[in-house]
Chains A and B, each alone.
Chain A
Amino acid sequence: MIDAASLVDVKNGTQAKSIFWDEQIYQLELERIFDRCWLFLTHDSLIPNPGDFTTAIMGEDEVIIVRQINGSVKAFLNVCAHRGTRVCSVEAGNTRSFTCTYHGWSYGLDGSLQAVPFENEFYKGVLDKSTHGLTEVRAESYMGFWYGNFDKTAPSLYDYLGDYRFYLDVWMDSTGGAELIGPPTRTLLNCNWKTPAENFVGDAYHVGWTHAASLSVLGGELTAMSGNKMVPPDGAGTQITTRFGHGLGILTNAGPALLSGPVGELARKWYAENRPKVAEKLGKTRGGYYGSHFNSNVFPNNSYLWGTNTFKVWAPRGPRSIEVFTWGIVEKNMPDEVKEAVYDMATRTFGTAGMLEGDDADNMESMTQLNRGRQIRKGRLNSQMGMGGDKVDEESGAIIGASAVGETSYRGYYRAYREFLMAESWDDLLKADPDAWKREFLGK
């Protein structure tokens, strides 16, 4: 039996190293996090027309997301109700049906079982087709981003995102919405799924050191940080965490921070033009955030960087490896020239041959694989930077850290992680008053 409470020490900002290795903890995560949380599926821009579909992975379950004839979207487990074979073996497309390659059972876009070869001859009336459709998965969208949830009792996606929407909207809503550029790249990393998620949710500390070489040549604002030659000044940004562990870090005015030359100029011009409009729509605070660099993670495993325009899912494959899905993310109303330029830059920085992508992988893999050792595995992880400086932000309702570099969002991520692992159900999770997590986080 796992003592979930001891895995995370909220008060002291530490975690057990075994969370990156242990098979039993992983099984509990699948049950209490991946079976319960909203998990990223796809974006409207990738399935615009009836019959358009993409596939995704929720936890370790393969799913299909398909645009219905009436324009709505449904998601299904990608498995035939007969003998358990895949009904869709491609990644995306447009179709009128999903047909299993084993015996030819065929399902409509709505998941209903439409055709069974030789149904009358072989089944002679014993098969109830009405109860053998594809298994539907709850799917909801926010700003065109579709997420799935295996738990019927989970709050809506809107409520699950909660106070995090205050920050999400800065990019997702500000200039007319965002869109994903696919198809995604798909790569293996031999790390625990939380190692990249925690890095994206709140690690501005590693940027100047892990990425010292790439920053030194890229030539945007962040070049000054290469090799830790510069401490970000006061007011350079903040870290943010919210109720269910969603969090982010903001580097003020550093949106095109990795973009030099003509690409940087294009991006800066676009941000400068649009900032006043965003301020008008979303207020002064968020107008100021627009055009800044965001490192973010929607709990549990969906990360993105605005400014560097990359969008990722870390799909677990056991406790010690993951499949990384990477898309480009752009503002819908950007001129094509700007979209192409920033997408190219996203590929160049965080794509499969990204100039920064490979740097992170080594850290994440050794954080995971060293736990093979019993002595190492017994240790604790430290995320205490900035403790004591965190406070509730009255405007957004989130908890924010005192500076651009700190581990506030780590602590918020793992506070929520612990709560999910300990809770018996969503009812259990929602019992506490909405501000209880803030008191726990701040030690009050």
Chain B
Amino acid sequence: MDGLKAVAHDVYHEIEQTLYREARLICDERLRDWLDTMVDQEILYQAVSRQLRVRKDTRYAAKDHVNIFNENYHYLAMRVTQSESPMQWTADPREIVRHFINNLEVYEGEKPGEYRVFTNCLVVRNRRIYEEMTYSYSRKDVWRRDAKGQLRLVKRLSEVDERFMRGKNLNFIL
């Protein structure tokens, strides 16, 4: 199937638990823990929005997607530090970013100890008194075992479904 090799059930279960843990750390605002324990130093963390085009249009040369995130470890760490600032007014009072993760598929990656992980995500974000917004997107991840056997996120590409983003911004970990 697509040349993808499914993983054994125990690995599938391990990845599933890892994704849930990640979602819990984000919801609990433990972004430093997330960065330290779940993110690889070689991370490429991307999210895109796609411009709407005619399907058969092959003559228009301009790229059809725009980056929302295009971060390496350095910049992800910068964002985490920003979130910890007592002067980050947008996050005080606190926001709640709750992930609902579905349609999990896990396959062997290019190297041993690497896994390709596909998910669908729904995020409900609550902030201030009157704001609740939802975001639907797909994730294509690569997770890899580090020297200690711990799974770490090496690559994430999120594609956000909504072209006109009613949730105003994506200032959270997707």
Interface positions of A (Cβ within 8 A of B)? 46, 48-49, 51-52, 89-95, 182-190, 210, 212-214, 216-218, 226-227, 261, 323, 344, 347-348, 351-355, 357-359, 361-362
Contacts and interface: CB of A to CB of B under 8 A. Distances in A.
A355 to B, nearest CB: 6
Nearest to B68: A352
Main secondary structure of the interface of A (DSSP, over half): mixed
Given A93-B54, A351-B67, A186 B163 contact: yes
A362 to B, nearest CB: 6
A67 to B, nearest CB: 11
Interface of B: 47, 49, 51-54, 57, 59-71, 74-75, 78-79, 81-83, 85, 87-90, 128, 163-172
Given A46-B62, A185-B66, A186-B164, A217 B47 contact: no
Contact of A95 (B54, B64, B65): B54
Given A216-B87, A358-B90, A351 B165 contact: no
B79 A355 contact: yes
Given A217-B85, A261-B74, A183 B164 contact: no
Given A93-B57, A213-B82, A347 B51 contact: no
Contacts of B53: 90-93
Contacts of B164: 186-188, 323
Given A182-B51, A187-B164, A347-B68, A92 B169 contact: no
A186 B47 CA distance: 14
Contacts, number: 129
A359 B64 CA distance: 28
A188 B163 CA distance: 11
5 contacts: A91-B52, A91-B53, A216-B82, A217-B78, A362-B90
B75 A357 contact: no
A392 B167 CA distance: 43
A358 B169 contact: yes
A297 B55 CA distance: 36
Given A91-B53, A183-B51, A186-B165, A359 B90 contact: yes
A361 B170 CA distance: 12
Contact of A355 (B51, B65, B68, B82): B82
B49 A352 contact: yes
Contacts of A48: 61
A182 B82 contact: no
Contact of B171 (A182, A218, A353): A353
Given A90-B53, A95-B54, 16 more contacts: A93-B57, A93-B60, A183-B51, A185-B49, A187-B168, A188-B165, A210-B89, A212-B87, A213-B82, A213-B89, A214-B82, A347-B66, A347-B67, A353-B69, A354-B169, A362-B128
A96 to B, nearest CB: 9
A213, A354, A361: most-surrounded residue (chain B CB, <10 A)? A213
A188 B60 CA distance: 27
B42 to A, nearest CB: 17
Contacts of A214: 82
A212 B85 contact: yes
A275 B47 CA distance: 35
A183 B64 CA distance: 6
Contacts of A348: 70-71, 75
Given A90-B53, A92-B53, A347-B68, A357 B62 contact: no
